[in-house]
Structure 1
């Protein structure tokens, strides 16, 4: 089963200084220009996970996924044991890098497991729980005003505007006066659940087994024979044709970049 970093472990990972197939639930869209009016149920509605995939600004790339059988990693997220094919591709380039920022270093970053966080809120427009996928720096930026309101004892008394700009920056702005909400938003605010149950979303990521990871590694353009694999055979199409695997390319921000 894919690794999930929950509870205090997730908080420790989020607050540390180091770099670091689903169910019917899905991540809510949180791209540049996204805006939600939300209620925060608690301060610990989050979990962390290590994600693979390659973002391509012009489209394409490799859709994001998590490993069904994850590798063991150091506290800073460096793969150490039970390596996946993507971990081996990362290490192949990493070990050939002469200096930070060179071609091999940049290639290594493409295959590196990237620490991401899922944060949960209650959407006051839809009246449903939502979970967004963010980087570590983005998660910290969102949680700072959240914790500030919690310290004041006002967490359940204010709404928030959750927003992502086109440059990848994120914000969570308190709406102290609930009269500023629409009647529908006020109604949903009053009937919001008292508990979020973030565990319900642990299967939100697409989990790839090693065969699927290897196919995606070939899709990325990496020569898998360099790390001891044979080129895998294409998936057999079913009667309706081969279906595209789940997962979407990540929209990255500056803190996702290697330098």
Structure 2
């Protein structure tokens, strides 16, 4: 199963490929204040995946054996240990709410939300500085804005260069893709040459597979401990895996508001 969940017009699921030698990742830094001059190679060069992690505690990762999700992104089978932790905490929140402890319930629901897998997007472009393909990692909101611009100029995409920029900070960061109106005036000779170079061949989706940190269940379990979750509640311990006879209730509801699931 690929770590990506949708491909192309659906936001792209990249095919998993076997490599004899590790390749250098095409993922580039994209901190606030960064701008790249790029060529959009295709309207379909994007991939959705579900990321886990907690800012300041656990770095972002994707599970080696991803959960099965429906078209809306709800977990339907094969939940990861992080999905199971989130599910358990949402049940705790519901029990507290049913007991009339609303404030406590909301606090636990906020905690549960941190353990959920959340959609993120890799998007590929041709870098006019180097003439090589690059990948950018975006949140759902950021990707939505970039995709809207790409779709707006879809019919002219092979004739236009763009500036891809990130501004702002924290939750107020904004990513924009702006067309370069006058390529003769606003691009150097080298950038114009690289624009042509970037259009010579389609993007290879296999390159996305080297952009993300993939964690097996043992690593995910260790990450739960680092995040402060009591893995004993899931019948787990460091070095152990999910008990084969344990029945797991997958998460079946999802929303940006963490309190919507209890």
Flag whether TM exceeds 0.5 (same fold): yes
Of residues 74, 81, 88, the one that matches 2:84 is 88
Question: Is the contact made by 2:4 and 2:12 (CA closer than 8 Å) also made in structure 1?
Answer: no
- Deviations, residues 64-121 of structure 1 (Å, cap 9, x unaligned): 1111111222333232322221111111111122369811111111110111111000
Q: Residue 257 and residue 187 in structure 1: after superposition, are their counterparts in 2 closer, same or farther (change >3 A)? A: farther
Measure, in 2, the Cα distance between the counterparts of 1:112 and 1:92.
Answer: 11
Of residues 117, 125, 129, the one that matches 2:129 is 125
Deviation at 1:7, TM superposition (A): 2.6
Which structure would you say has the larger Rg? Answer: 2
Question: Is the contact made by 1:27 and 1:131 (CA closer than 8 Å) also made in structure 2?
Answer: yes
Choose between structure 1 and 2: higher helix proportion: 2
Measure, in 1, the Cα distance between the counterparts of 2:127 and 2:257.
Answer: 30
In the alignment, structure 1 segments of 5+ residues that lack a partner are 14-21, 234-254
- Any residues of structure 2 matched to 1:73-112 within 5 Å, and which? 73-97=69-93, 98=97, 102-112=106-116
Q: Aligned to 2:190, what secondary structure does the other structure show?
A: helix
Deviation at 1:183, TM superposition (A): 2.1
- Any residues of structure 2 matched to 1:210-221 within 5 Å, and which? 210-221=217-228
TM normalised by structure 1 equals 0.78
Measure, in 2, the Cα distance between the counterparts of 1:189 and 1:256.
Answer: 38
- 1:134 to 2:130 alignment: no
Question: Is the contact made by 1:135 and 1:256 (CA closer than 8 Å) also made in structure 2?
Answer: no
TM normalised by structure 2 equals 0.77
Q: Residue 2 and residue 206 in structure 1: after superposition, are their counterparts in 2 closer, same or farther (change >3 A)? A: farther
- 1:37 to 2:37 alignment: yes
Q: Residue 174 and residue 79 in structure 1: after superposition, are their counterparts in 2 closer, same or farther (change >3 A)? A: same
Deviation at 1:256, TM superposition (A): 7.4
Question: Is the contact made by 1:2 and 1:67 (CA closer than 8 Å) also made in structure 2?
Answer: no
Deviation at 1:127, TM superposition (A): 1.7
Deviation at 1:231, TM superposition (A): 3.9
Measure, in 2, the Cα distance between the counterparts of 1:109 and 1:217.
Answer: 14
Question: Is the contact made by 2:26 and 2:133 (CA closer than 8 Å) also made in structure 1?
Answer: no
